[in-house]
Amino acid sequence: MSAAEQINQLKAQIENYNYQYYVLDNPTVPDAEYDRLMRELIALEEANPALKSADSPSQKVGGMALAAFEKVNHEVPMLSLDNAFDESEFYAFDKRMKDRLKDASDLAFCCEPKLDGLAVSILYENGVLVRAATRGDGQVGENITENVKTIRNVPLRLRGESIPARLEVRGEVFIDDKGFAKLNQTQQEKGDKTFANPRNAAAGSLRQLDPKITASRPLMLYAYSTGVVEGFKLAATHYEQLMQLKEWGLPVCPEIRTADNAKDAFAYYSDILARRAALGYEIDGVVIKVNDKAIQQTLGFVARAPRWAIACKFPAQEELTTLLDVEFQV
């Protein structure tokens, strides 16, 4: 098979998996297999640059807004993250940034668990929650305001005196281990389908046309960044910004730490990996972000991800052997 044929085949296969995962909330292959195909595609495109096109799944964010929901245009695109699958790939990421900055000094990082749920954008105007949306394809998401309002730890109004006129909070909606066990027990008792894993349960629960169903599901949010901010000067580092979100009453993951250099950031990865099972919620890796916002800005973005952050994925925990159907109502 020629490289062009191989690329076309991989593109079609990945697009199909994206549809099942992001639109139907019902993946049919394990994430590790999906990641392997994506890396094969990226390697082929890198070896044959003339065959790389803007419509390739390697160049865009995977999701898509469903017609059943009102659409929301993201003022600041919601991107994905590049991946590192081992230690050497993580250090290569650190080196790439230093080369680009033409400065070999240590970069400081903000280190966070990579929650396995789905990304949401929540807009507060003068402290009041006015809109919430899914990531969709990164440019256009789905309006899920009423559903997000039902999430127990999402404040409908921010706390404190000094609050931005407009603040877009980004975070991950997920279901923790206890909530997931209870939810599947309830589903079973009702004779309804159980969920394959917490991510599918969270995605299926959030993208419901009836917010009453969402309200009955044990969804949680951890905020991990901001989008649009108006009428307030946020702190100069990502970590301090997260602490500011916490002061305004937004839930932030308690495991977030700063690291002075790449070696310390990798130690964080190892520590979280060792404690993975005891965290109480599913994660599929850690996210390491350059802490200084000005350096983030200098580094900028590539097609689908920032240059200043990387998802260090954990080794696959379980293969998708018995994938059950996920309830999805539209």
**x/- binding map, residues 94-113, to ligand NAD, per CB under 6 A?**
------------------x-
Helices (H), the chain: 3-18, 31-47, 87-101, 145-148, 177-190, 198-206, 211-215, 238-247, 262-275, 293-299
- Kindly give the pairing relationship between strand 118-125 and strand 283-290: unpaired
Is residue 114 annotated as part of the catalytic site, yes or no? yes
For the chain, helix (H) and strand (E) counts, in that order, are: 10, 11
Backbone angles phi, psi at 251, to 5 degrees: -75, 130
119 binds ligand NAD (CB under 6 A): yes
Stretch that binds ligand NAD, among 14-22, 158-166, 178-186, 237-245 (CB under 6 A): 14-22
In the bound state with ligand NAD, the residue whose beta carbon lies nearer, of 98 and 257, is 257
172 binds ligand NAD (CB under 6 A): yes
DSSP 36: H
Measure the CA–CA gap between 57 and 55, rounded to whole angstroms.
6
Measure the CA–CA gap between 51 and 146, rounded to whole angstroms.
43
Measure the CA–CA gap between 206 and 203, rounded to whole angstroms.
5
In the bound state with ligand NAD, the residue whose beta carbon lies nearer, of 18 and 214, is 18
Residue 172 marked as a ligand binder: yes
Stretch that binds ligand NAD, among 27-35, 87-95, 121-129, 229-237 (CB under 6 A): 27-35
Measure the CA–CA gap between 92 and 288, rounded to whole angstroms.
13
224 binds ligand NAD (CB under 6 A): yes
207 binds ligand NAD (CB under 6 A): no
40 binds ligand NAD (CB under 6 A): no
Residue of the chain from 10, 11, 21, 132 that contacts ligand NAD (CB under 6 A): 21
Nearest to 245 by CA among 227, 218, 268: 227
Measure the CA–CA gap between 114 and 272, rounded to whole angstroms.
10
Helix (H, G, I), strand (E, B) or coil at 143: strand
Residue 135 marked as a ligand binder: yes
| Min CB(172)–ligand NAD separation in Å | 4
34 binds ligand NAD (CB under 6 A): yes
Residue 58 marked as a ligand binder: no
Measure the CA–CA gap between 54 and 66, rounded to whole angstroms.
22
In the bound state with ligand NAD, the residue whose beta carbon lies nearer, of 118 and 326, is 118
Residue 255 marked as a ligand binder: no
200 binds ligand NAD (CB under 6 A): no
Name the residues annotated as catalytic: 114
Residues at the binding site are 31-35, 80-81, 112, 135, 172, 289, 313
Residues that bind ligand NAD (CB under 6 A): 17-18, 20-21, 27, 29, 31, 34-35, 61-62, 80-81, 112, 114-115, 118-119, 135, 172, 224, 287, 311
Residues at the binding site for NAD(+) are 31-35, 80-81, 112, 135, 172, 289, 313
